[in-house]
C-alpha cells in the first residue's frame, strides 16, 4: 500500500479495535455477492486485512484451503495472528505481493484502494499473483465520485498514518483494465436495515447514510482471463 510499514494505520489505534462490528455486515455483503459458491481447495488473499476479521468470517461460511492476510500495520498483524486460533490463516506485515506469483485463487480488499499510493503497481502485482481465471473483489466507498468524499478525505488525512489518494471510479476501472483484468462493478446496495447512529461529520443526516451504502459504495470484480 505504501513504501513503508507502520505500527497502526490510524493515529488512534482504539478506532481500529472497533472496526469488526462496523465492518461485519459489509463483509457479509461481499461474501453473499461473490460468484463462487465454494472455496474448497482454494488459496484466498485479503489485501489490507487489518486485524484479520474478514478471513475468519469468510472461512466460517465458505471454508478454504489457505488464507493469507497482509497489511502494512504491524500491530494489526500481531492482533490478527493472536486471534486466528487453529484456522488455516497466515498474516504478514508487508506492502507487496512479490512472493505470491500465481499462488492466489481469489483476493479481497475492503476500503483499501484509496490508501494505495501506486494503484498501477498494485493492479499489476495482483494480476501476477492471481492464477488464471482468478478474481479480485474490492469494495470501495472512499472515491472521488462519492459526494461525501471531499469532507471525508480531509478528516481521514488528519487521522491516517498512510497517504490518502483521490481516485475516481473511471481511473480505477481504467487502471485494472490496463493491467489485463476484465472489469466488473456493481453498487454495494446494502439491502438491510442500517443502524442510524447519532449525526456526525461523516454522515450528517439519515439520507447520507442510506445513499452512501446503497449508491456510492461500490463492489468491484476484477477477473484475470
**pLDDT of the residue at 72:** 94
The C-alpha atoms of residue 132 and residue 49 are separated, in whole angstroms, by 23
Say if residues 89 and 57 touch (Cβ distance below 8 Å): no
The C-alpha atoms of residue 146 and residue 212 are separated, in whole angstroms, by 8
**pLDDT of the residue at 135:** 98
pTM of the model: 0.93
- Please give the chain's pLDDT, 225 residues, in tens: 545 788 787 876 555 556 767 889 999 999 999 999 999 999 999 999 999 999 999 999 999 999 999 999 999 999 999 999 999 999 999 988 988 999 999 999 999 999 999 999 999 999 999 999 999 999 999 999 999 999 999 999 999 889 999 999 999 999 999 999 999 999 999 888 888 888 888 999 999 999 999 999 999 999 999
Domains in the chain and their CATH numbers? Answer: 13-223 (3.40.50.150)
Phi, psi dihedral angles at 85 (to 5 degrees) = 60, -135
**Which of 143, 147, 139 lies closest to 211, judged by CA?**
147
How far lies 120's CA from each of 65, 129, 143, 170, 202, in Å? 29, 14, 16, 13, 29
**pLDDT of the residue at 17:** 57
Strand pairing report for 89-93 and 130-140: unpaired
- Per DSSP, 184 falls in state E
**pLDDT of the residue at 194:** 87
The C-alpha atoms of residue 201 and residue 157 are separated, in whole angstroms, by 14
**pLDDT of the residue at 2:** 45
**pLDDT of the residue at 192:** 85
Amino acid at each position: 500500500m505504501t513504501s513503508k510499514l507502520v505500527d497502526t494505520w490510524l493515529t488512534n489505534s482504539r478506532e481500529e479495535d472497533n472496526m469488526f462490528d462496523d465492518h461485519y455486515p459489509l463483509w457479509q455483503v461481499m461474501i453473499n455477492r461473490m460468484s463462487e459458491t465454494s472455496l474448497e481447495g482454494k488459496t484466498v488473499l485479503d489485501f489490507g486485512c487489518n486485524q484479520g476479521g474478514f478471513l475468519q468470517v469468510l472461512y466460517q461460511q465458505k471454508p478454504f484451503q489457505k488464507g493469507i492476510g497482509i497489511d502494512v500495520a504491524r500491530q494489526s498483524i500481531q492482533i490478527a495472528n493472536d486471534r486466528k486460533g487453529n484456522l488455516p490463516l497466515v498474516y504478514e506485515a508487508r506492502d507487496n505481493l512479490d512472493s505470491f506469483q500465481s499462488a492466489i485463487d481469489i483476493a479481497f480488499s475492503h476500503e483499501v484502494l484509496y490508501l494505495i499510493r501506486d494503484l498501477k503497481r498494485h493492479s499489476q502485482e495482483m494480476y501476477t499473483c492471481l492464477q488464471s481465471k482468478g478474481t479480485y473483489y474490492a469494495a470501495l466507498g472512499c472515491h472521488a465520485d462519492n459526494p461525501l468524499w471531499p469532507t471525508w478525505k480531509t478528516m481521514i488525512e488528519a487521522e491516517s498514518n498512510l497517504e490518502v489518494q483521490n481516485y475516481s471510479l473511471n481511473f480505477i476501472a481504467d487502471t485494472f483494465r490496463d493491467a489485463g483484468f476484465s472489469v466488473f462493478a456493481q453498487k454495494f446496495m446494502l439491502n438491510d436495515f442500517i443502524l442510524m447512529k447519532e449525526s456526525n461529520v461523516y454522515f450528517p443526516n439519515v439520507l447520507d447514510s442510506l445513499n452512501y451504502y446503497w449508491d456510492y459504495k461500490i463492489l468491484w470484480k476484477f477477473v484475470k482471463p
